[in-house]
Structure 1
Amino acid sequence: MAKKGRVFVRGLTSETYGLNHFREQQLAVERVRDDSVVVDDAKVAHSGDSAKSRTWWRVGPGDEEFLTQTIQVHFVELPGQSSNHGHGHQNEAAFYILEGRGYEIHDDRRYDWAKDDLVFVHTDSVHRHFNPYDEKAKALVVKAKSTWMFMGLIQQGRSGPIDRPEEFGEREDWSRIWTPGVLDRKKVISPKDTAWEVTPLGRTRVMASPEMTDGRIFSVDAYELDIAAGSRSGKYWKMADEVFYVLEGGGYALQWEVEAEIAEKYYARVAKEPKRFEITEGDTLYVPQNHICQLFAADGTPLRVFSAQNRVFKHLGYDTVHYVENAPEYQG
């Protein structure tokens, strides 16, 4: 954490066209992180914390050792009767409420939230978090911030006057260049807004996806997965990487690396043996790009996890999940 500056986007530099050494380095990193891992304490180049609020990172582009920058993971904690500082940034963010309740002020409008809600900070939002109650509030924050940074969408900061005001005209409505209809979309997705379904993956509750067009988020897909004690998820293969946060219970994950054999076309070669990762409540589990994964509830209790991934993969032609094996409960 003793860095001179915050890493917003991590680059790739190589003297060869092949980049296998970068993937090998990434796959060698430990994929399970618990509360002992704080990769950034928000003291450098972050404007959100107040005297009482606290922010700390678990996964980000500046991490050593490096996991991913497609999805960043951090936590925000607000003691009772407190708030953090407001600021604005162009990137979206999604807050899964782990504890407590409170409300947001986004662009001068109030949005109330409580435990198990998923709250969206929309593109180009000036926002601030409030906890007017006595109990602590805590949120898990997932975002695809590096995607905006890579594309040059870096106009962010605290509220205040612009530099060189004499060179610019009067205020204009920024929302003129937003996607039509976004002002009517939901900013808070509560359990009552979703339904549990039995899918090839298992019992899931989808909270953000391209199909949920009433939610105001375009960059992050999110769902909960609930695995009964002694059961398992489907065994699935996809290109997008993914971060799980263990909400309840414990167990383990199996992950199979998929190698690319480049012949007259691309062929997939699946590892004969998987890597195994033990997980328990409060852990984050990382699934790298182009892997097969399966989760198991193995400690005698159900396993409930929250998943987030960057939606940009689906816009790049990787919008299919292939199920090698369905969850036992799925009868479709």
Structure 2
Amino acid sequence: MAKKGRTFVRGLTSETYGLGEFRTRQLASKRVRDDTVVVDDAKVAHSGDSEKSRTWWRIGPGDEEFLTQTVQVHFVQLPPRSSNHGHGHQNEAAFYILEGRGYEIHDDQRYDWAKDDFVFVHTDSVHRHFNPYDEQATALVVKAKSTWMFMGLWQQGRSGPIDRPEEFGPREDWSRVWTPGVLDRKKVISPADTTWETTPLGRQRVLTSPERTDARLFSVDAYELDIPTGSRSGKYWKMADEVLYILDGGGYALQWEVEAEIAEKYYARVALEPTRHEIKKGDTLYVPQNHICQLFAHDGTPLKVFSAQNRIFKHLGYDTVHYLENAPEYEG
């Protein structure tokens, strides 16, 4: 947790042009986190929790360890028959429902959700989460909030009057500056809205991507991966960093660092030996930028994984995933 207040975005300052020391620190950090890791308990500079609801952070820009701020990860838990406080922020947020059911009120509209749904808080949304049922509801939240912070999109807070109202005119429709057609996009992606496919990565269902233009989410790409007992994923290389949440099962990940050799052009040099990371249900696994990764399922239980990454990498020209090895099921 940040020593003073909440860190919304981390700065980067150096006396030299080369920034290798920052990558060295990042790669030295532990990449697997479980329920013992709470980097922010939402007691400082948060506005969402009520007397009953609970929020806690697993990965955020205020981490003492240098991991990432491209994708933040936290949890929201609503006990039976409870809700949190309503508030608004400019950044999007995406909720993967781990257990229970409930509904959202976004901009005075209701959206119902249940376990395994992927729910979106859209850009510039006033929202509140409700659980009117008898079972507990828990959601894994992923968002690229720091991207908005970098761009100065930080008009957020609880409902209330504006400061200096005498200096401003009457209300105008905020949606005039939104992308055309967003009001027709889905706010909840259910399992019925997706298709499982066998890809070079393995058995996969894509939840959000640039190609999925029916979803009202522009900043986070997400998928689920189901690796059979004793099998493995494809061995993939991409520039974007990634957070994986282990939905079920156990296994391990191998990750190969990719070094940049800067000569007459950029060359990639792949580490001869990977790092190994044991993973189990409830863990998050971090894959740093410019890495090769492969997942392996232990014998006994399939390994089920939820993945999230910041879509901005694809807009910066890094929209290709290169496979050094396909998943066995794809080749078979």
Counterpart position of 1:96:
96
Contact 2:92 2:120 in 1 (8 A): yes
- Tell me the secondary structure at the aligned position of residue 30 of structure 2: coil
Equivalent residue for 1:296? Answer: 296
Q: Deviations over 1:238-274 (max 9, x none)?
A: 0000000000000000000000000000000000000
Which residue in the other structure is 2:272 paired with?
272
Partner residue, 1:139:
139
Matches within 5 A, 1:213-232: 213-232=213-232
* Residue of structure 2 equivalent to 1:84: 84
Q: What secondary structure sits across from 2:313 in the alignment?
A: helix
Identity of aligned residues (%): 86
Structure 1 partner of 2:111 = 111
Q: SS of the residue aligned with 1:161? A: coil
Q: Give the letter aligned to residue 255 of structure 1.
A: Q
Aligned partner of residue 231 in structure 1, secondary structure:
coil
Per-residue CA deviations over 1:42-92 (Å, capped at 9, x if unaligned) read: 000000000000000000000011210000000000000000000000000
Task: Give the aligned residue type for 1:146.
Answer: S
CA offset digits 1:113-139 (Å, max 9, x no partner): 000000000000000000000000000
Question: Offset of 1:2 from its aligned partner?
Answer: 6.8
Corresponding position of 2:41: 41
Q: Is the 8 A contact 2:2 2:63 kept in 1?
A: no
List structure 1 runs of 4+ shifted beyond 6 angstroms.
none
> Which structure 2 residue ranges, 5 or more long, are not aligned?
none
Native 8 Å contact 1:249 1:299 kept in 2: no
Partner of 1:284: 284
Q: Give the letter for the 1:215 counterpart.
A: A
**Residues 22-56 of structure 1 deviation map (CA, whole Å, 9 limit, x = unaligned):** 00000000000000000000000000000000000
Residues of 2 paired with 1:20 and 1:280: CA distance?
Answer: 31
Find the aligned partners of 2:178 and 2:33 in 1 and give their Cα distance: 37
Alpha-carbon separation, structure 2, partners of 1:44 and 1:287 = 28
Deviations 1:216-240 (A, max 9, x none): 0000000000000000000000000
Counterpart residue type for residue 31 of structure 1: R
Q: CA deviation at 1:298?
A: 1.4
**Displacement, 1:21?**
0.3
Q: Unaligned stretches of 5+ in structure 1?
A: none
- Which residue number corresponds to residue 319 of structure 2? 319
User: 1:16 aligns to what?
Assistant: 16
Deviations 1:124-174 (Å, cap 9, x if unpaired)? 000000000000000000000000000000000000000000000000000
In the alignment, structure 1 residue 260 sits paired with structure 2 residue 260: yes
SS of the residue 1:123 aligns to = coil
2:146 alignment partner AA: S
Give the drift of 1:3: 2.9
Size of the aligned set, in residue pairs, is 332
Measure the CA separation in 2 of the matches of 1:128 and 1:208: 22
Paired residue secondary structure (1:330):
helix
Kept in 1: contact 2:221–2:309 (CA 8 A):
yes
